[in-house]
Structure 1
Amino acid sequence: MRRKNFILTVLMFLFVSILSMAVESANFIMPNTNMKTIDTDFQEALKDYKPNLENVDKIFNYIEKNISEKGRAVFYSKLEKGKNEVIVTDENNNIIYIEILPEKLIKIIPHFKTKEMYQLKEGKTFSYIDYSTEMMGKNVIIKSETLLKNKMNKKDAIEILNKLRDSNSFTKNSISNIEYAKSECYDEEGNLLFTMKIKDNKVITEAQKTINENIIKMIYIVNDVNTDSGLMETYINGKLASIMKMKNSLPNGEAKIFYPSGKLLSIFTLENGRTNGISKVYYENGKIQAIYNFKDNVQDGEAIEYDENGNVVKKVLYKNGKIIK
């Protein structure tokens, strides 16, 4: 059963990595939630927040005036938690406006400081943002550039702000207006944690780490601007190791694991991150090696193992993870 133990170990490793990646992806797209699990609290806190439209006027006037006169507009923002304020200043540290935030929202939003730059490229708004904040308990720096499909205007901005209370609507409206975007997230030592790209209404988040001298790269591909669902690809030392469907930030649906040669190693089904149903394991030559049955991540049902000639070498019946026959 050594082979079986190896397969189960690989599956568990991939589960942990994928869940971690899914949380990071969700946080990156909606950084102010800090963790997707507090999204409900975040949405509840937003009910008390009504953007000051006078401040929207001030920043738009500032951007348009500076782009017209200098070709670009640069300003800075920072959160003063003790005062429940977001302070926005120009390049000379003159205050452009101060936005008061509800206390509930202040408690959820991590600290942040930003430097923003706006300019026009062929009539379309291009922006660059250097964003210092906290994510998953760590201080991080996010460098982001975005090219909109058209020139940013006050009406569209106000409409998006008014949809802040509905995270799905807010994200959809934000992403659908983007022609191209790229963001990179670094830790305090300058190590790249992950990147995100947006193009053609598709969000692709990539993360890479080294584990036991192996380079693990994970790519989270989201379609239809649904940031909770998509496809997760895992690469080990540059070779595709697994493909898993994601829904609600958890593995859901068919999943496949591959040998370094690219041949199929295993195929199984996940429901909310748990293995359910039939799991098949293959020899590298494509012949079936084993068939297992799972229920909520534990073996439940018949387990059959085969040799490379297709002969049954072991047959066991499980119930709640225990052998009963």
Structure 2
Amino acid sequence: MKRKNLFLILLMFLLYSVISFADNVKDITKYLEATMKNKGELNFVLKYEKSDNSISTYTEDGKFIYKNISLSDTDTLEYSNGVKIKISERNGKLKPFIEANISNGEAIIRAEYILKKPIDLKKIAKNGINMNLIENVELDNIVSAKSQIQILSQIKSTTELKNRISTTKIYSMSGEFLRYTVYKYGKTFTEGVVEEYAPNGEVLTINEIKDGVLNGEAKFYEGSKLRGIAHYKNNILDGEALEFNEKGEVIRRWYYKDGVEIKK
């Protein structure tokens, strides 16, 4: 598989937006719990269905678990066909890992945890597997966690989570350290403040997140100096936007409503 396609898959795993459908959650939960008890791990296979642009998840023995229908128009979903996902408790119920194997190992995504209590398999049965693997466990249940994305045996992203703060480092295909982000979570993974930094530690952006998207104030920096402020509502520009010069003076002001610039 081409490297470009691998990056498309990884983008899907990090930015996946879906509606999930699962039938007989109670029965599926019992099945998953029994399998985990007997084998110490669960193995799933993703299958892409072009007819409704969906991804269905099956166990390794062919049992249907749930279906995800994409909310976005994307060609990356077809590359998920055949992706294998494992949830393992072989290192202990409080030290599980989740691993996604893409294109026969050309790309590997792995998340490891230290938990307060075992993974809630009912949540997996009801909502499916979150493609951002580290978020498959409730935030309150995590003592610490770490994950990494590996492409062609090279690490391209690492994340460490502790005390509701995660730090993610991003690397290029050539191994160059590009940037890192710090996510300070609120009550859940879908709310908080995310900060982006250059390799030298200079702040680039600080954004407020709610419901998994931009909601609230967003700040933009150059050379660690504040150069812009915008406001978002459900990931759309909404409210006042400001541009600053190097002295911190306002040099431009806009107003937006539902993503459209308006005059005031």
Q: Is the 8 A contact 1:218 1:232 kept in 2?
A: no
User: Which of 171, 179, 186 does residue 143 from structure 2 map onto?
Assistant: 179
Taking the aligned partners of 1:81 and 1:269, their CA distance within structure 2 comes to: 39
CA shift for structure 1 position 248: 2.8
Match of 1:144 among 97, 111, 122: 111
Q: Distance in 1 between matches of 2:47 and 2:261?
A: 50
TM-score of the superposition, structure 2-length normalised?
0.65
Matches within 5 A, 1:155-304: 160-164=120-124, 167=127, 174-187=138-151, 189-200=152-163, 202=164, 204=166, 206=168, 208=170, 216-219=178-181, 221-238=183-200, 239-260=202-223, 262-301=224-263
- Equivalent position amino acid for 2:96 in 1: S
User: Which protein shows a greater Rg?
Assistant: 1
SS at match of 1:126: coil
SS at match of 2:166: strand
Q: What is the RMSD computed on CA atoms of the aligned residues?
A: 4.1
AA aligned to 2:208 is K
Secondary structure of the 1:125 match is coil
Cα deviation, residue 101, structure 1: 1.8
Q: Measure how far apart 1:266 and its partner are.
A: 1.6
Letter in 1 for 2:33: V
Match of 2:59 among 86, 89, 94: 86
Q: Which has the higher helix share?
A: 1
CA contact (8 A) 1:52 1:99 kept: no
State the TM-score, normalized to the length of structure 1.
0.55
SS of residue in 2 equivalent to 1:176: helix
- State the identity as a percent: 17
d(CA) in 1 for partners of 2:89, 2:111 = 11
Q: Secondary structure at the match of 2:90?
A: strand
CA distance in 2, matches of 1:166, 1:78: 15
Q: How far, CA to CA, are the matches of 1:249 and 1:55 in structure 2?
A: 28
Closer, same or farther: CA 216–249 of 1 in aligned 2, 3 Å: farther
- Amino acid across the alignment from 1:56: E
Confirm whether residue 35 of structure 1 aligns to residue 16 of structure 2. Answer: yes
Looking at structure 2, the residues matched to 172 and 295 of structure 1 have their Cα atoms a distance apart, in angstroms, of 35
* Distance in 1 between residues matched to 2:31 and 2:239, nearest whole Å: 57
Letter in structure 1 aligned against 2:155: L
Any stretches of 5+ residues in structure 2 without a counterpart? 1-9, 49-56, 71-79
CA contact (8 A) 2:45 2:84 kept: yes
Please, which runs of 5 or more residues in structure 1 have no aligned partner?
A: 1-22, 29-33, 64-74, 88-97, 303-325
Contact 1:293 1:299 in 2 (8 A): yes
Say which SS state the counterpart of residue 56 (structure 1) adopts: helix
